[in-house]
């Protein structure tokens, strides 16, 4: 099976690189650290302080097969990276921000100037296949910043179907951060592919971070994916097998998931760290409380003891 790559493959050299933030100079002389430019369910921005002790100090290429909002990538800013996802619209956004950020910014500024309820639903109803890649990228960023809860959700046909959010003055175009993200993404190859494609690429000494759709916390919570591609128990088991195969070959592997008996049993052969998180995606604010998640490590040399 062939997958869509959005840059020629990076060199295969595996010289270890240290993690560390890339600071990008802004027009007024200050420096701007790239942060996620998409809101994403389960984004890891608020958990990075808890994750930080477990990131390896040295690694070769960084792989993130469920790239989502990219919080870990932007935190580490690795020297070489492969960001992939099964969602081609998401991968296209990263590709265009990397390669054509000024054109993306120009279109977002147009969306910001025209933003109202009618414009939102007109843009939502557009067919991505009828747009250029840059138009598709700006469309997704615009919808992401103005839809309800910043939620990405597709119907069975693959169409974005989230209603307009209740924002007074949403930030539609953060040009400085988009430029910072573009600079950080220069080290990254972007790829539309399933998560297990990483088995064809990752080698000893590389770092792979998996942030999949989470296992539901209860039997009444059947939600398993924000796209039309379901991610149920069978996929979770296949992911565990991929995780184990990578760890066995000497790849440094990390994985996030919900804290349930099922996930703890799945990863019982690996080191499991309990993480305190906030449940943010819920239609009722009073149900957005603290919960625990797990961080699974496949290599005993990860971070601190």
pLDDT of residue 62 exceeding 60: yes
pLDDT of residue 78 exceeding 50: yes
Does residue 95 fall inside a structural domain?
yes
Does residue 10 fall inside a structural domain?
no
- What whole-number distance in Å separates Cα of residue 226 and Cα of residue 243? 22
Does residue 5 fall inside a structural domain?
no
- DSSP string for 257-282: EE--HHHHHHTTTSEEEEEEEE----
Does residue 9 fall inside a structural domain?
no
What CATH number corresponds to the domain at position 25? Answer: 3.40.50.150
- What whole-number distance in Å separates Cα of residue 182 and Cα of residue 193? 21
Is the model more confident about 197 or about 4? 197
Query: Does the pTM of the predicted model rise above 0.75?
Result: yes
What's the number of domains the chain is made of? Answer: 1
Does residue 26 fall inside a structural domain?
yes
- Containing structural domain, residue 119: 16-297
Q: Give CA separation, 121 vs 6, 73, 116, 126, 143, in Å.
A: 29, 32, 9, 9, 9
pLDDT, tens digit, 9 for 90 and up, residues 126-180: 999 999 999 999 999 999 999 998 888 888 777 889 999 998 899 999 999 999 9
């Amino acid at each position: 099976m062939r997958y869509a790559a959005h840059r020629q493959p990076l060199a295969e050299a595996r010289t270890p690189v240290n993690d560390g933030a890339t600071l990008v100079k802004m027009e007024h002389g200050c420096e701007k650290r790239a942060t996620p430019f998409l809101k994403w369910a389960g984004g890891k921005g608020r958990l990075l302080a808890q994750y930080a002790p477990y990131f390896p100090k040295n690694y070769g290429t960084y792989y993130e097969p469920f790239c989502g909002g990219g919080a870990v990538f932007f935190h580490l800013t690795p020297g070489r990276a492969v960001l992939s996802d099964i969602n081609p619209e998401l991968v296209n956004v990263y590709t265009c921000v990397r390669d054509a950020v000024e054109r993306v910014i120009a279109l977002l500024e147009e969306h910001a100037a025209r933003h109202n309820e009618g414009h939102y639903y007109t843009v939502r109803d557009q067919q991505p296949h009828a747009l250029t890649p840059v138009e598709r990228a700006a469309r997704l960023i615009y919808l992401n910043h103005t839809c309800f809860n910043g939620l990405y959700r597709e119907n069975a046909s693959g169409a974005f179907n989230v209603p307009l959010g209740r924002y007074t003055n949403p930030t539609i175009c953060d040009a400085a951060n988009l430029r910072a993200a573009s600079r950080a993404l220069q080290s990254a190859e972007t790829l539309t592919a399933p998560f297990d494609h990483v088995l064809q690429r990752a080698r000893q000494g590389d770092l792979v971070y998996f942030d999949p759709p989470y296992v539901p916390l209860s039997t009444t919570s059947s939600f398993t994916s924000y796209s039309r591609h379901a991610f149920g128990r069978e996929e979770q088991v296949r992911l565990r097998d991929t995780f184990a195969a990578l760890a066995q070959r000497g790849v440094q592997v990390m994985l996030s998931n919900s804290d349930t008996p099922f996930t703890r049993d799945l990863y019982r052969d690996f080191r499991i760290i309990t993480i305190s998180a906030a449940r943010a995606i819920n239609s009722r604010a009073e149900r957005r409380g603290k919960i625990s998640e797990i961080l699974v490590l496949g290599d005993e040399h990860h971070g601190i003891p």
